[in-house]
Every structure is written in C-alpha cells, then in structure tokens.
Amino acid sequence: MNIDGKPHRSVWLGEDGRSIHIFDQTRLPWAVEVLGLADEEAVATAIRSMQVRGAPLIGAVGAYGLAMALRRDPSIANLERMAAMLNETRPTAVNLKWALDRICAAVRNHPPERRADAAYAEAAAICDDDVETNRRIGAHGLPLLQEIAARKPAGEPVRVLTHCNAGWIATVDFGTALSPIYQAHDAGLDVHVWVDETRPRNQGAALTAWELGAHGVPHTLVADNAGGHLMQRGLVDIVLVGTDRVTRQGDVANKIGTYLKALAARDNGVPFWVALPHSTLDMKVRDGLAEIPIEERPGTEVTDATGRLPDGSVATIRVAAEGTPAANPAFDVTPARLVTGLITERGRCEATEAGLTALYPEKAG
C-alpha cells in the first residue's frame, strides 16, 4: 500500500539480515516513525505496547522474534520457552500462536546450527503468504461492492462502515477488511468509508483514517455510537470488519464494539461481512463466547486519551475524574448467527461449520 505515493510493507528485514523494521503504530497518525527491533524482548515489548498490532502482523513480527531468539540460543528448550513467552503477549488473536507453531515445526528437525536461518526463512515465507492471502481476500470481497454499486443510482457511492483497523498497517500488506475497498477504489469504483473512531485506543481515527487518506480513498470519521444511526437512515450499504479469531462454528472475535455493529446491522437489514485469512481460523474452538480468551488491557486506555496539542506536540490527558475505576475488555465475540458471511482467500462462505469446512477441509480435523 502507499504512503505519499510510495509502496510499503508493514514489516521488513533490516540490512543486517537479523533485525526487522516496523512502523511504530503508537506514533501514528502524527508521525510516521520506523522502529527497529533487534531481539525477541524488543519484539515482545512492541507487541504488548501495541507499537505493532493487527492479528496477521502480530503473527509475522512474532515469527521474526522467535527467529531472533534462536540466533542467541538454538536449543529446543529455548525454542519452546521463547515461543511461550511471545505467545503470552496478546492472548486473543490466534495468528500469533499459528505463526509461532509454524516456526517451531519448520526448525525442530534441523541441527542447532541451522535453526536460526531456517526460522528466518520461514518468517519471510509467512510474510509473503500474508501478502498474497490478503490480496485474494480483496479479490473475493470486491464483487460484493461491485454488486452493490450496480444496484445504486449513477453517481452514488458504495457506503461501507468499518470498525477498528483491518488495513495494510494491521497486516504485512493490503489488509483484510480494507483489501476489497482498496481494490474497488483502484478499479475506479466510487466507494466511501465510514470509519468508526474505535475507542478506547482510537485505531479507526488514528490508523484507518490515516491509511485510507494516504491511499486517496474517500472516508469520514464517526463516533463509535453513530453506526446504528447511519444504518437507520440508509447511509450504510455494507459493514466490513476484520477479526482476530474465527471459531469452527463461525463466531467472530474482533475489537470491542464489533458485536454492537452486528446487532445494528441485523436490525436494519445491512449485510455484515467479516474478512479473515486462514491464519485467523481456529477450528479447535467451537463456542467463541465460552472459549476465546478476552484480553483485558489497562484501564488508563479508557480514562486517558492521546492527541496532538495546538502547538503540535503530542500529549496524553485524563478525560475521567481522578479515582474513577475503568474496565477495558479489548475484544468482543459476535455470534455466527449475526454474520452475513466470511470473506477468505479461498472464497466467500456462510459463517457456519459447514461453510468453513468446505473451504478448509484440511483444518476440519
């Protein structure tokens, strides 16, 4: 995807062939800063602090972190210890465990002196796979937007509502939910995106609006609670969101507030589609509400807010009274019955076990 007309990926290997570089997402949109990560502890810190975020990107960066750990100590004991440490950094998104398991499987049978190189090669393959996967998600989602456009009066845009950030900055490239939007825009389709601010960390305001603007996609930022109002007035044609985990029966874990968008969409007859790569599918879990661990983040993310001051400096201020307790569940689960369908790199399907098994028979177990 583009920043000021120049193509970028969200993670790339440093010139030394060992470190990696990422965009520090806590600095966006006020500054585009590149952060170097040279060891597994730096990777773990970047994931915990959300300097790097987005389920597919966390998986790719975590894979490189495990490769870095093997340069220091290529033993199987260290492999397993560091994989467990990295996996604990963000518990809800399944992509991280998927990528770490893939590294472990790729290196386990190599002699110690070859494990680090094998891990780096596998991490690079994970990144390339993510790029192609997300491109295909966009290709399978694009017809949904084209079909809506064909039914609308000439000159009226396809109006998409999205929640959180499921764009290229959350993946290695293209994004998941935003991939069909980028492909539609690049193909000349008139698309407009309603961008939820996505409290408390404002990933929609800080990241989605920034990357859509950088790519030239028309968009409007709205308060999180405006989605239902827009749907009631016929101003939303389709909801497109990403996900951090999809279960065997089609339940969807995504950023907190997604469930409320699905309820509003169902009440107003608006299609609610979820875009996911194969790395987000967890066929070992059936009931998302009962089985998916929901990350609880610090309450200060709710009581405080970060923004740019009139003098151009960036500061964090408190927006709640001192002493106010705050709960901060980072994700919610949308039951499969509220999901119109799933968009994957292999095609579209219903949010059901039968639909997912048809696309991914090798994962059915």
Sequence ranges of the binding site: 53-55, 90, 203, 254-255
At residue 53's C-alpha, the angle toward residues 23 and 215, to 5°, is 55
Report residue 170 as tokens.
């959350």
Following DSSP, what letter does each residue of 40-86 receive, concatenated? HHHHHHHHHTTSS-SHHHHHHHHHHHHHHHHHH---HHHHHHHHHHH
Nearest to 76 by CA among 122, 100, 99, 109: 109
At residue 220's C-alpha, the angle toward residues 272 and 296, to 5°, is 60
Q: Using an 8 Å Cβ cutoff, are 28 and 210 in contact?
A: yes
| Residue located via tokens 């608006």 | 270
Task: Return d(Cα 129, Cα 276) in angstroms, integer.
Answer: 13
The H or E element spanning position 35 is: strand 34-37
Sign, CA torsion 96/275/52/255: negative
Which runs of E-coded beta strand occur in 230-356?
A: 238-241, 245-247, 252-255, 272-275, 281-282, 304-308, 314-318, 331-334, 341-344, 347-349
CA distances from 82 to 72, 273, 338, 361 (A): 11, 36, 38, 31
Binding-site positions for substrate read 53-55, 90, 203, 254-255
Provide the β-strand partners of residue 161. 194, 239
Three-state secondary structure call for residue 167: coil
244 is known as an active-site residue: yes
CA 81 to mean position of chain CA atoms = 26
Following DSSP, what letter does each residue of 113-174 receive, concatenated? HHHHHHHHHHHHHHHHHHHHHHHHHHHHHHHHHHHHHHHSPTTPPEEEEE-S--SGGGSSSS
- Which of 224, 237, 244, 332 is the catalytic position? 244
Q: Using an 8 Å Cβ cutoff, are 178 and 142 in contact?
A: no
Q: Which residues participate in catalysis according to the annotation?
A: 244
